[in-house]
Amino acid sequence: MMVESASETIRSAPAGQNGVGSISGQADGGGGAGAAGAGGGGAGRDPAAGADSNGEMSPAELLHFQQQQVPVSVAMMSPQMLTPQQMQQILSPPQLQALLQQQQALMLQQLQEYYKKQQEQLHLQLLTQQQAGKQQPKEALGNKQLAFQQQLLQMQQLQQQHLLNLQRQGLVSLQPSQASGPLQTLPQAAVCPTDLPQLWKGEGAPGQPAEDSVKQEGLDLTGSATTATSFAAPPKVSPPLSHHTLPNGQPTVLTPRRDSSSHEETPGSHPLYGHGECKWPGCETLCEDLGQFIKHLNTEHALDDRSTAQCRVQMQVVQQLEIQLAKESERLQAMMAHLHMRPSEPKPFSQPVTVSAADSFPDGLVHPPTSAAAPVTPLRPPGLSSASLHSGGPARRRSSDKFCSPISSELAQNHEFYKNADVRPPFTYASLIRQAILETPDRQLTLNEIYNWFTRMFAYFRRNTATWKNAVRHNLSLHKCFVRVENVKGAVWTVDEREYQKRRPPKMTGSPTLVKNMISGLSYGALNASYQAALAESSFPLLNSPGMLNPGSASSLLPLSHDEVGAPVEPLPSNGSSSPPRLSPSQYSHQVQVKEEPAEAEEDRRPGPPLGPPNPSTAGPPEDRDLEEELPGEELS
DNA sequence: GACTTCGTAAACAGTC
DNA sequence: GGACTGTTTACGAAGT
């Protein structure tokens, strides 16, 4: 393209033109530059600009989108009508996420209806068999019941399979927040762990066919088969519940969460009782009130072979669903990650550590880049519009940089993403340069080190080096906040925080747009929090490690989490600023792939103790030293 | 519509 | 002389 060629031919430009004076050169060269800029810019940026105005939803719109639930029909049809790539191009990751969630809700509803019907039929058969077999020996009856339970289980797994197929075709995935609720809590409510040994004693018949059937259906459950079959010690059981305390109607020992998608529970109701009927799997006996239900529960669902078998089946169902949920979540992460990748980039996620791993992100969460600027974006980097996904052009107005997301926390959260994905970070050059400088113990970097930081932190900046390096130099010179300091080893650049804050638009309260963005960002945060909480509650073991769900943890990973927006708009808790763990980039950027002068990058990683600038007297403005401590409460502008 | 911010291109000078 | 660094100007796009 023109940009490339222009960059390449800079050096080969006729020197004669350079002889022109600055002013005339501007007129002449300015015209040329303008033409080149327009042409190059047009070639380079138009895709981005076009994408910006192409079906891109603003965060607020997306929020509205979700609140109104209006686009459900659109959301449901689009996966079938569009390829994932098309969807990804049209929809930003948060929109995709919203789409997925809506589709999941619908899927779950369908699945529940189907499941209900199947259970009805099977239970009918079961009852028929029970009546017919009353004269039969108890053992025979138990065997038949078990056979039915197995049939039920297989049916359920077929349903799961069906759902999964639908999910894959429709780009839908089970969400922990949804799937874990109704499905996972059931066994906890119904099964007493102390009964588990009895429940699973002599089992094997129910478990094996379940697995087999699943495998035959093509499900890849091999990785979790051990979990599925290790029922003797279920990975997750609720705290000891008294199975026989049910008669007193005490639901306190039971998990209060229920299948809220299909029933609206009234307070004080029993988890197994809803809409006037018993919710015991396959029962649905009508009960006028809770008392009658309790009676029914005690008589019909007492501890006997049938109830035990049903519990067993339900446990298997839950186990399978949990396993499947984990797998599908992982798959979703991989898909999302892939959709953010350039197809031509084979490398980034081919490594063992992928986005699905908890260590893919510094906070340990399996989340694609997130940001406050892209509000409902649990799965996408801030301001990472589709425009900036693949385009090499500039994504102007990096809103998250300005208003919502602290660059440090953003980078901390999405470090891996930016490092691997060829995605332009939604921050201005000035913000990035400043971040690079502030991440170092000395708060100073040479130009080349800044270059290295860019290439190390962002895959995007491993291309078009001439362009962005020029921009970096331009920004360094242009902004007064960047102070050049002569050092022993040459010139280093430091940040004058006061100047930096000064240049930022101080009015956060006045602009409705800013407020809107803020609200969007906050709502995103809430969503993200709930998403993480759901993940934590789910059977995602990787997410249950301590500190991973701390919303402030991400921001505390970097020294200046409160920097970008200034104190007034910092949505994150201030606890991170009290004693921010000072992590050097190398501490959270393992797997650093520095292709350009790696040795030099290492060379400047001076070990921990902040010895202060090598030349305190000359290394940077004196106010820099204390600025970080001043920042939380200060209003510099 | 004016102004501001940002990204990009480019010219140019100084230094190594 | 070439590469790198730093400064400056100009322009277009987008947001305020």
Place of tokens 């500190």: A547
Which parts of chain A have pLDDT scores under 70?
A: 1-269, 311, 313, 317, 321, 328-329, 332, 335-406, 488-489, 503-637
Q: What is the DSSP string of A524-571?
A: HHHHHHHHHHHHHHTT-GGGGSTTTT-HHHHHTTSTTTTTTT-GGG--
Q: Which two tokens stand for residue A2?
A: 């023109």
- A446 CA – B16 C1', rounded, Å: 15
- A38 CA – C15 C1', rounded, Å: 20
DSSP A632: G
- A146 CA – C13 C1', rounded, Å: 70
- A304 CA – B6 C1', rounded, Å: 72
Nearest protein residue by Cα to C1' of nucleotide C2: A11
Cα distance between residue A412 and residue A30, in whole Å: 40
Closest nucleotide to A482: CA versus each C1': C6
Nearest protein residue by Cα to C1' of nucleotide C12: A38
Torsion angle of C-alpha atoms A318, A321, A327, A330, degrees rounded to 10:
-90
- A429 CA – B11 C1', rounded, Å: 22
Q: Which two tokens stand for residue A411?
A: 């980078």
- A488 CA – B16 C1', rounded, Å: 15
Q: What is the DSSP string of A46-114?
A: HHHHHHHTSSPPPHHHHHHHHHH-TTHHHHHHHHHHS-HHHHHHHS-HHHHHHHHHHHHHHHHHHHHHH
Cα distance between residue A108 and residue A134, in whole Å: 37
Q: What is the DSSP string of A159-177?
A: HHHHHHHHHHHTT----HH
pLDDT tens digits along A378-404? 334 433 333 333 333 444 444 434 344
Which residues make up the interface with nucleic strand C when CB must lie under 7 A? Answer: A 11, 22-23, 26, 30-31, 33-34, 37-38, 41-42, 45, 49, 52-53, 396-397, 399, 446-448, 451, 469-470, 473-474, 476-478, 484, 490-491, 493, 505, 511, 513-514
Closest nucleotide to A25: CA versus each C1': B11
- A11 CA – C1 C1', rounded, Å: 12
pTM, to two decimals:
0.35
- A587 CA – C13 C1', rounded, Å: 38
Each residue of A13-23: b (16+ CB within 10 Å) or e?
eeeeeeeeeee
Cα distance between residue A142 and residue A625, in whole Å: 77
Helix axes A138-169, A93-132, angle to 10 degrees: 160
Closest nucleotide to A431: CA versus each C1': B6
Nearest protein residue by Cα to C1' of nucleotide B16: A490
Asked if residues A372 and A404 have their Cβ atoms less than 8 Å apart, the reply is yes
Nearest protein residue by Cα to C1' of nucleotide B4: A505
* Predicted pLDDT at A156: 58
- A236 CA – B11 C1', rounded, Å: 68
3 state SS of A487 = strand
Cα distance between residue A619 and residue A157, in whole Å: 66
Place of tokens 């509000």: A375
- Chain C nucleotides close to protein (CB under 7 A) are 3-16
- A517 CA – C8 C1', rounded, Å: 35
Cα distance between residue A256 and residue A236, in whole Å: 17
* Predicted pLDDT at A317: 65
Cα distance between residue A269 and residue A266, in whole Å: 6
- A76 CA – C1 C1', rounded, Å: 64
Single-letter amino acid, residue A335: M
Cα distance between residue A324 and residue A332, in whole Å: 12
- A369 CA – B1 C1', rounded, Å: 38
Torsion angle of C-alpha atoms A501, A375, A176, A388, degrees rounded to 10:
-90
Nearest protein residue by Cα to C1' of nucleotide B6: A396
- A589 CA – B2 C1', rounded, Å: 45
Closest nucleotide to A514: CA versus each C1': C16
Nearest protein residue by Cα to C1' of nucleotide C9: A26
Nearest protein residue by Cα to C1' of nucleotide C7: A477
The widest CA-to-CA distance across chain A, in whole angstroms, is 110
Q: How would you class A143 by CB atoms within 10 Å of its CB: exposed for 0-12, middle for 13-18, buried for 19 or more?
A: middle
- Chain B nucleotides close to protein (CB under 7 A) are 5-13
Closest nucleotide to A394: CA versus each C1': B7
Planar angle of CA A50, A51, A52, nearest 5 degrees? 90
